[in-house]
Structure 1
Amino acid sequence: MLDFAKIFGLDGRVAIVTGGAQGMGEAIARTLAGAGASVALADIQHEAVKAVADDIAAAGAKARAYRVDMAEEDEIVALVDSARADFGRLDIVVNCAGLQHRNFLEDTSSAFWDTMIDVNLRGPFIATREAVRIMRADGTAGRIINIASNSAFHATAPSLLAYATSKAGVAGLTRSVAMEVAKDRINVNAVCPGNTATPGQLTSTGPAFPPEQIAKFMPPIGRVGRPEDIAAAVLYFASDAASYITGQTLVVDGGQLTC
């Protein structure tokens, strides 16, 4: 019989999860910790991410919080180095931190565009580069999982121009890095959520979606996504069950894109 605890278990492994203070990142961190991983949670909201890390630790897992601005290269480099030093190894990196602010094309300044690209695409690039450096040096068969979006493949709303472009970049980053590091036994994949209820969705700035647009966000499955839906997909890619999968983008959107 199959040993599912072994196939999906992460005992002895160390994971970095960015955006771990709330929403998808929090759910991912809790799920990986529940599967046995030690978790380094990073977020710009330090008090909030510390509270999540403390709660995970109180439940019996190893967890530690790091205050990191994903738009700042030196802070990302320090995060990866610190997590490796603090936990003794690095096996999994989940690039989840991101912004979903909105603007129509004519209202999109270069500064707005740069902020979205810096956090959503440049940040994951730097974290991936630094993680690969450590995994290669340690000889670790690592896992890098990027959180993209179904907006990478389909224009879901006009005001999501910068967001969708950044997430399309994440999908491209995933495929290109996967090809380059496959020889190092490092698997790189992306999870692409659809409409998922998160606190970050509520605090995003920009023009409100009109009612007819909101109606289009409801997928055929009949409900919006939950952070736990995304966390389950991340666990799959992080586990031995996905050891033969790399360079893939898994859409988790209740059928919104494909039906």
Structure 2
Amino acid sequence: MLIDLDKLFRLDGRSAIVTGAAQGMGEAIARYLAGMGARVAVADINGEGARAVAGAIVAEGGQARSWTIDMASEAAILALVEEVHDAFGRIDILVNNAGVQNRNYLEDTTGDFWDSVLDVNLRGPAIAIREVVKRMRADRIDGRIVNIASNSAFHATTPSLYAYSTSKAGVAGLTRAAAMEVVKDGIRVNAICPGNTATPGQMTSTGPGFSPETIARFAPPIGRQGRPDDIAAAVLFATSDASAYMTGQTIVVDGGWLTC
């Protein structure tokens, strides 16, 4: 009997939160999940952008609502999770995509600078996982959590990413630790690690140490930059029944860059 692959990837009846979803990878992820039937909370610090993405999804026949969220604020994260749960009745999927890549060299990295990166990239996702897991456990939902890390978690790609690379390595560790703790509840936690991905306001385009020659170093063996759809497709896999036997994993989607 042939396998119904469409059914394997469908997300009908499920609700998802995607942070950092006003553009780029987050927008693509929101569109992919909505395209497979999920109700999507499009969350971003850019409220106007989040509303535009949610509106476009609805106009195309999907289900979405927007929220304005600062992932550096614990109170804002708590409010987001509560409001989405009230609006959708359940939370099945969390995609921690929001992130910052503030750049500074080692000798210039102050405590405040560390906080500006870690609060959004690591502390925020940890708080979001904690709050979403509470709802998943209470509702007895076999939840799926996906953290967006980076291939920078495994390789020091360039100077000035001292705090960013550290934060993303932390996300990989957070993924494994959370997966081990919640697996007994039927909740799966995995991470997607993008490489250089072309997005609006691309993180890898400006900042200390980012000359044209440095940027060229990011060209992977596959011969092109990543696209938001490349990352969204990996997230769809990790949130669907196709990945039912996988948890605590970090999937690198970087065109083979780490093989160099």
Cα deviation for residue 215 of structure 1 reads 2.2
- Asked whether 1:11 is paired with 2:12, we answer yes
Paired position in structure 2 for 1:54: 55
Paired position in structure 2 for 1:211: 212
Cα deviation for residue 100 of structure 1 reads 1.1
* C-alpha RMSD of matched pairs (Å): 1.2
Cα deviation for residue 214 of structure 1 reads 1.8
Cα deviation for residue 199 of structure 1 reads 1.8
Matches within 5 A, 1:121-200: 121-200=122-201
Output the CA distance in 1 between the equivalents of 2:203 and 2:215: 14
Output the CA distance in 1 between the equivalents of 2:87 and 2:200: 29
Deviation track 1:183-222 (CA, whole Å, cap 9, x = no partner) reads: 0000000000000011242597631413332221000000
Paired position in structure 2 for 1:83: 84
TM-score by length of 2: 0.97
Paired position in structure 1 for 2:71: 70
Cα deviation for residue 234 of structure 1 reads 0.1
For the Cα contact (< 8 Å) 1:99–1:204, is it kept in 2? no
Output the CA distance in 1 between the equivalents of 2:119 and 2:215: 27
Deviation track 1:5-33 (CA, whole Å, cap 9, x = no partner) reads: 11001011000000010010000000000
TM-score by length of 1: 0.97
SS at match of 2:76: helix
Is there any run of 5+ residues in structure 2 with no aligned partner, and where?
none
- Aligned residue identity for 1:53: A
Paired position in structure 1 for 2:44: 43
Deviation track 1:57-90 (CA, whole Å, cap 9, x = no partner) reads: 1111110000100000010011111111101111
For the Cα contact (< 8 Å) 2:16–2:91, is it kept in 1? yes
SS at match of 2:223: coil
Cα deviation for residue 138 of structure 1 reads 0.4
For the Cα contact (< 8 Å) 2:42–2:66, is it kept in 1? yes
- Asked whether 1:107 is paired with 2:108, we answer yes
Output the CA distance in 2 between the equivalents of 1:241 and 1:200: 32
Deviation track 1:25-54 (CA, whole Å, cap 9, x = no partner) reads: 000000000011000011010011101001
- Structure 1, 248-257 or 79-88: larger mean CA deviation: 79-88
Cα deviation for residue 107 of structure 1 reads 1.5
Output the CA distance in 2 between the equivalents of 1:49 and 1:198: 16
For the Cα contact (< 8 Å) 1:100–1:204, is it kept in 2? no
Paired position in structure 2 for 1:246: 247
Paired position in structure 1 for 2:232: 231
Output the CA distance in 1 between the equivalents of 2:175 and 2:132: 14
- Aligned residue identity for 1:229: D
SS at match of 1:190: strand
For the Cα contact (< 8 Å) 1:101–1:204, is it kept in 2? no
Output the CA distance in 2 between the equivalents of 1:201 and 1:177: 29
- Aligned residue identity for 1:19: G
For the Cα contact (< 8 Å) 1:102–1:205, is it kept in 2? no
Cα deviation for residue 148 of structure 1 reads 0.1
Output the CA distance in 2 between the equivalents of 1:117 and 1:138: 30
Output the CA distance in 1 between the equivalents of 2:124 and 2:189: 16
SS at match of 1:199: coil
Equivalent residue pairs, number = 259
